[in-house]
Amino acid sequence: MKENISWDQIAVGNFTYPLFRFTTFLDSMVRLGVKNIEVWAAGPHLYLEDATPEMLRRMRREIRARELNPICLTPEQCMYPINIGAEEPWIRDRSVKYFEKGLKASESLGIRQMLVTPGDGYRENESTETKKYTIENLRYLSEKARDYGVTLLLEHLTVETTNLATRANELADLNREIDCDNIIPMVDTDMMSRYGETISDYLNAFDGVIGHVHLVDGMPAGHLALGDGVLPLENYIEELRRVNYNKYISLEISNDRYHLNPEDAVKRSIDWLKKVL
């Protein structure tokens, strides 16, 4: 049970800390012995529309001062008016520019990966146009990402947030149609489990290649701290172990039940992981 997956692959995101300053999140990671962080680019910490060069330089200084390693930038793209597959051209244009700001922020913070998601279309319509715009804009962002030395991580969503890719095979099909080698699909255990799928389903669909993992518990949904739900998390770890998974596993604990005491939720999750790894 100690092989292949190591503590060095574990990251924690600031998703749990929206009621506290970004520096409070960073100090919490130091106390908990966490080295890798995923930066959720959302208010109040880093809403990309508000980001300035000085703000980003300050954040980078704060991260470096604590010797933390920022491994992924995750722009908020479900709760704000961002949709690369929208039928309205002004929404698509705004959304692409938003992700370009994300790429610039990634470069400023020294981050080499940025998370992106499929677009979303009106449910009265077929998904054909949504897919066309999503593919077109992800190809464009792929070329921009090359200029910044950033890899794009393509995450699946739920039926409430996309009409394109909610299951492993759908995400794999979309990624094949995009056909850009710097866009790599990833998996989120909360959204995966809502549809009765496992890590192995994603590994099979992606020919064994997963670029990133969001590891959370759920009922099956909820983005809960590890151990607070009913998901077979140890099975997921074992599935990753069997294929010698060597990328990051990030805790995306975002349920608002933890927002007043985020460090406790992260600490309990880390304690759970230390028993398994």
Mean pLDDT check: name the lowest of 123-127, 187-191, 199-203, 248-252.
123-127
Rounded to two decimals, the pTM is 0.97
How far is Cα 123 from Cα 159, in angstroms, rounded to an integer?
10
Tokens 């099979």: give the residue. 204
Any residues with CB less than 8 A from the CB of 276 and at least 6 apart, and which? 1, 233, 234, 237
Decide: 133 and 86 in contact? Cβ < 8 Å.
Answer: yes
**What are the φ/ψ torsions at residue 164 (nearest 5 degrees)?**
-115, -60
Question: Phi/psi zone of residue 149: left (φ > 0), alpha (ψ -120 to 50 degrees), beta?
Answer: left
Decide: 102 and 114 in contact? Cβ < 8 Å.
Answer: yes
Q: Which residues pair with 251 in a beta bridge?
A: 12
- Residues 52-79 have pLDDT tens digits of 999 999 999 999 999 999 999 999 998 7
- Residues 211-245 have pLDDT tens digits of 999 999 999 999 999 999 999 999 999 999 999 99
Name the strands in the sheet holding 10-13, side by side, starting at the edge strand that comes first in the sequence.
183-185, 151-154, 113-116, 69-75, 36-41, 10-13, 249-251, 213-214, 187-188
How far is Cα 56 from Cα 77, in angstroms, rounded to an integer?
19
Q: Residue 259: which H helix or E strand, with range? A: none
Cis-peptide, bond into residue 220, ω within 30° of zero: yes
Length of the chain, please?
277
Tokens 């056909």: give the residue. 179
Amino acid at 254: S
Decide: 54 and 97 in contact? Cβ < 8 Å.
Answer: no
pLDDT over 80 (residue 1): no
pLDDT of residue 4: 83
Instruction: Enter the tokens of residue 78.
Output: 């479900």
pLDDT of residue 6: 94
CA-wise closest residue to 247 among 68, 38, 101: 38
